[in-house]
């Protein structure tokens, strides 16, 4: 289960553990749609074959970009844009440690408003 907690990050819970993964700190302009962008990008990366920790890392990066822009869908970066930002921006150099001890499992998505 993933529970988005806004600027606090995301809580990842399953039958054997729970872990709080902190959000990437940015200067937020508009947080409208941030949870949706996180969950949507997590689903994309997970369905594309990433394990849960890696999909969370990518979703955190994606959501961090979206809150630095105004609007909802128009604030969402393209895949190429996100890749470039991750490579060149210092905000992504923070080490997001997420344990990969848990294998792929069915995950329930819950967004906290």
Q: What residues act catalytically?
A: 36
Query: What does the buried/exposed string (b/e) look like for 64-79 if buried means 16 or more CB atoms within 10 Å of the residue's CB?
Result: bbbbbeeeeeebbbee
Is 97 exposed, middle or buried (CB count within 10 Å of its CB: 0-12, 13-18, 19+)?
Answer: exposed
Tokens 């074959």 — which residue?
49
Q: How many CB atoms lie within 10 A of CB 27?
A: 7
């Amino acid at each position: 289960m993933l529970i988005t907690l806004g600027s606090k990050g995301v809580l990842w819970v399953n039958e054997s553990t729970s872990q709080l993964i902190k959000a990437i700190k940015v200067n937020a302009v508009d947080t409208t749609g941030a949870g949706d962008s996180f969950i949507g990008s997590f689903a994309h990366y997970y369905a594309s074959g990433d394990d849960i920790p890696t999909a969370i890392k990518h979703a955190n990066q994606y959501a961090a970009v979206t809150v630095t822009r105004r609007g909802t869908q128009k604030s969402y970066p393209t895949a190429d844009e996100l890749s470039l930002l991750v490579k060149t921006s210092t905000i992504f150099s923070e080490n997001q440690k997420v344990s990969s001890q848990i294998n792929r499992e069915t995950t329930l998505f819950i967004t906290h408003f």
